[in-house]
Chain A
Amino acid sequence: MRTLMFLLQKEFRQIFRNAMILRMIIAMPIIQLLIMPMAADFEIKNITISIVDHDRSSYSQKLVNKIIASGYFRLNDYSSSFHESFGEFQNDNSDLILEIPLNFEKDLVRENSSDLFIAVNAINGTKASVGSSYLGRIISDYNSDIRLQRSEPQQMTASHLIEITTLNWFNPFLNYPFFMVPGILVVLVTMVGAFMCALNIVKEKEVGTIEQINVTPIKKYIFILGKLIPFWLIGIFIFSIGLFIIARFVYGIIPMGSVIVLYSFLGIYLIALLGIGLIISTYSNTQQQAMSLAFFCMMIFLLMSGLFTPIESMPEWAKVIAKCNPVTYFIEVMRMVVLKGSGFSDLIWQFLIICGMAVFFNTWAIVNYKKTS
């Protein structure tokens, strides 16, 4: 026990003496939480559109106004030649072309129907599909406006119109940061676990001090505890800054559920993550190797965690990876507790899995950590 105290004292002295680490601990959560949720926003805005209007009628004018007024589109050019607009399209200046045919108004009035043509630049698939569906909605909206104007009142009642009203649960205003901030907090904590802990141990290997430790009678598990505890505390500290300061005061996110549940999960999650950091450190001899390895793990952890893309829509093999990924579970728990107010009884499965992972990774690390070669 006394040995552990000496190790912890030494570890904290070194951490507080290292200006770089201190800055990282304070600045990283603040900056990442301020920048990332703003940028990592899936709401598609500013879709550029080229409109080819062969009709130039009051009806076509109304449609164009309606599109621009929606706020999602930015008019790139308004021409009467498809060829000209297609040039813009090819130069990547516009994402969408809407072609309004000649006699658009005449056909609508006389024959009650007319055709429109939309061309979509599908390099960015999400933008393309979201853009064209926005445009489709605006046009059908426009369509019902015209019907309303042109039809007789008695005809109105005869036409069947289904209108859908959506009620958004758990995040009523579809506020994007509400969805992202809890996830990004998880990323932050993960970085601390995997990176800082691994780098710290490998640094001792690199400098040679670990050899000095290995000739002392220190027990393996005491040494490892001496490394885990400081980073465990740092992880909790960073998480708290994020949750109680940035999330609350900048984004107005107050967890719906119990903070105790969150912290219990965080505690176990950090143990699992630090285990991964330890594993990385046992396999690498230089900080560079540890960095590359940790980076590799982080990329997979983040992209396969459901942070940016829903796991449900991944292919089966990817779902398997996501299910083996500790980050997945923490993000799930964060979103459930913070947004839905889920309690411990809803999260038993996640708790069991993360406990299992904590045991698994740490056992692996301790077995693989050798005092002798």
Chain B
Amino acid sequence: METDIVIKTEKLTKRFGDFIATNQITFDVQAGEIFGFLGANGAGKTTAMKMLCGLSTPTSGNATIAGFDIYRETEQIKKNIGYMSQKFSLYEDLTVLENINFFGGIYGLSKKRLSEKSESLIETLNMKELRKKLVGSLPLGWKQKLAFSVSILHEPKIVFLDEPTGGVDPVTRRQFWDLLYAAADRGITIFVTTHYMDEAEYCNRITMMVDGEIKALDTPKKLMQQYSSDSMDEVFYELARGAKRKAD
């Protein structure tokens, strides 16, 4: 079914002067999928993601997000996506509750929905005691879990996560992925970039980007078979070894 495809790109390209950050990438993402976007530093993952979120205008190529055109309907797209950037992006000088209210508010959630949502969110994250604490004082793992929950507060169709678990301890990372699975179960498509190869194995499908191009796209299992290796680590090395660009 056509409607099941929520992200569709066709030869999407971004150039910065002579430098081609992403080169003609083409892929589809199905609704409800956890789609992993892998690659070394500087492979073009963040650039690709920024184009899909409407933060950056592509140089050429086409893409539709939730059925909306990436050039003409950016405002429509923004209503239907959530985004969690590489940098931590909640307000550190606001409390947990204030952040939830603020982001819920600017997405236009009604007062009633907002209070229900923040109630259940705080419940799920087990942050009852921390609700009045400034976000800046929370440990990184907590912040990331909160940031993710806030980014899907308005029940978007797709959520984009740019290296959400960088610098987070393994236990918290596990909890973070539990949140992702819960969101995916509710039908939210998850588009996630990561460096951690164990996380890659949690994804339904993954793409490997090398030097701005997609070098592989399949389920983790099939990729491992294809490259006849036991782990995603090896697949990654196999593919990334060919990279000409230096990591930044």
Verify B78–A215 contact, CB threshold 8 A.
Answer: yes
Verify B87–A211 contact, CB threshold 8 A.
Answer: yes
Verify A372–B94 contact, CB threshold 8 A.
Answer: no
Verify A209–B91 contact, CB threshold 8 A.
Answer: yes
Verify B83–A217 contact, CB threshold 8 A.
Answer: no
| B54 at interface, CB cutoff 8 A | yes
Verify A217–B75 contact, CB threshold 8 A.
Answer: yes
Using Cβ atoms and an 8 Å threshold, which residues of chain B touch A83? none
For the side of the interface on B, what is the size category?
20 to 34
Using Cβ atoms and an 8 Å threshold, which residues of chain B touch A7? 106
Taking CB as reference atom, which chain B residue is nearest A9? Answer: B102
**Smallest CB–CB gap between A122 and chain B, Å?**
55
A-B interface pairs (CB < 8 A), number: 76
Verify B87–A207 contact, CB threshold 8 A.
Answer: yes
Per a CB cutoff under 8 Å, which of A9, A212, A217 touches B85? A212
| B9 at interface, CB cutoff 8 A | no
Chain A, residues 199-237, CB within 8 Å of chain B (1/0): the string is: 000000001110111111110000000000000000000
Stretch at the interface among A13-21, A48-56, A98-106: A13-21
Residues in A242-278 with C-beta less than 8 Å from chain B: none
Verify A208–B78 contact, CB threshold 8 A.
Answer: no
**Smallest CB–CB gap between B121 and chain A, Å?**
17
Verify A372–B93 contact, CB threshold 8 A.
Answer: no
Verify B106–A6 contact, CB threshold 8 A.
Answer: yes
Verify B78–A216 contact, CB threshold 8 A.
Answer: yes
Using Cβ atoms and an 8 Å threshold, which residues of chain A touch B94? 10, 13-14, 17
Inter-chain CA distance A17–B135, complex, in Å, is 13
Verify B106–A3 contact, CB threshold 8 A.
Answer: yes
Using Cβ atoms and an 8 Å threshold, which residues of chain A touch B98? 10, 13
Inter-chain CA distance A18–B91, complex, in Å, is 13
Verify A208–B106 contact, CB threshold 8 A.
Answer: no
**Smallest CB–CB gap between A78 and chain B, Å?**
65
Per a CB cutoff under 8 Å, which of B53, B74, B101, B106 touches A218? B106
Using Cβ atoms and an 8 Å threshold, which residues of chain A touch B85? 208, 211-212
| B227 at interface, CB cutoff 8 A | no
Using Cβ atoms and an 8 Å threshold, which residues of chain A touch B86? 208
| B92 at interface, CB cutoff 8 A | yes
**Smallest CB–CB gap between A66 and chain B, Å?**
66
| A160 at interface, CB cutoff 8 A | no
Chain B, residues 178-201, CB within 8 Å of chain A (1/0): the string is: 000000000000000000000000
| B124 at interface, CB cutoff 8 A | no
| B79 at interface, CB cutoff 8 A | yes
| A165 at interface, CB cutoff 8 A | no
Chain B, residues 94-117, CB within 8 Å of chain A (1/0): the string is: 100010011101111000000000
Residues in B48-79 with C-beta less than 8 Å from chain A: 50, 53-57, 74-75, 78-79
Verify A372–B55 contact, CB threshold 8 A.
Answer: yes
Verify A3–B105 contact, CB threshold 8 A.
Answer: yes
Chain A, residues 88-119, CB within 8 Å of chain B (1/0): the string is: 00000000000000000000000000000000
Using Cβ atoms and an 8 Å threshold, which residues of chain A touch B91? 10, 14, 209
Verify B93–A215 contact, CB threshold 8 A.
Answer: no
| B214 at interface, CB cutoff 8 A | no
Verify B106–A373 contact, CB threshold 8 A.
Answer: no
Inter-chain CA distance A211–B85, complex, in Å, is 8
Per a CB cutoff under 8 Å, which of A9, A208, A372 touches B57? A372
| B89 at interface, CB cutoff 8 A | yes
Using Cβ atoms and an 8 Å threshold, which residues of chain B touch A211? 55, 83, 85, 87, 89
Using Cβ atoms and an 8 Å threshold, which residues of chain B touch A5? 105
Inter-chain CA distance A218–B105, complex, in Å, is 11
| B34 at interface, CB cutoff 8 A | no
**Smallest CB–CB gap between A253 and chain B, Å?**
38
Given known contacts A209-B90, A216-B78, A217-B79, A10 and B57 CB-to-CB distance under 8 angstroms: no
Using Cβ atoms and an 8 Å threshold, which residues of chain B touch A10? 91, 94, 98, 102
| B88 at interface, CB cutoff 8 A | yes
**Smallest CB–CB gap between B113 and chain A, Å?**
13
Residues in B27-62 with C-beta less than 8 Å from chain A: 50, 53-57
Verify A209–B93 contact, CB threshold 8 A.
Answer: no
Verify A18–B57 contact, CB threshold 8 A.
Answer: no
Interface centre among B55, B79, B81, B88 (most CB of A within 10 A): B55
Taking CB as reference atom, which chain A residue is nearest B104? Answer: A6
Verify B108–A2 contact, CB threshold 8 A.
Answer: yes
Inter-chain CA distance A215–B51, complex, in Å, is 11
Taking CB as reference atom, which chain A residue is nearest B101? Answer: A6
Taking CB as reference atom, which chain B residue is nearest A7? Answer: B106
Inter-chain CA distance A371–B53, complex, in Å, is 11
Verify B74–A372 contact, CB threshold 8 A.
Answer: yes
Using Cβ atoms and an 8 Å threshold, which residues of chain A touch B93? 13-14, 17-18
Interface centre among A208, A211, A215, A373 (most CB of B within 10 A): A215
Inter-chain CA distance A337–B165, complex, in Å, is 60
Given known contacts A14-B94, A211-B87, A212-B83, A6 and B102 CB-to-CB distance under 8 angstroms: yes
Which A residues contact B (CB, under 8 angstroms)?
A: 2-3, 5-7, 9-10, 13-14, 17-18, 207-209, 211-218, 371-373
Query: 18 other contacts beyond A208-B85, A215-B81, A373-B57, with CB at 8 A cut-off?
Result: A2-B105, A3-B105, A6-B105, A6-B106, A9-B102, A10-B94, A13-B94, A207-B87, A207-B92, A208-B88, A211-B55, A215-B55, A216-B78, A217-B75, A217-B78, A217-B79, A372-B55, A372-B56
Which B residues contact A (CB, under 8 angstroms)?
A: 50, 53-57, 74-75, 78-79, 81-83, 85-94, 98, 101-103, 105-108
15 contacting pairs across A/B (C-beta < 8 A) = A3-B105, A3-B106, A10-B102, A13-B98, A209-B90, A212-B90, A214-B55, A215-B82, A216-B107, A217-B75, A217-B79, A217-B108, A218-B106, A372-B56, A372-B57
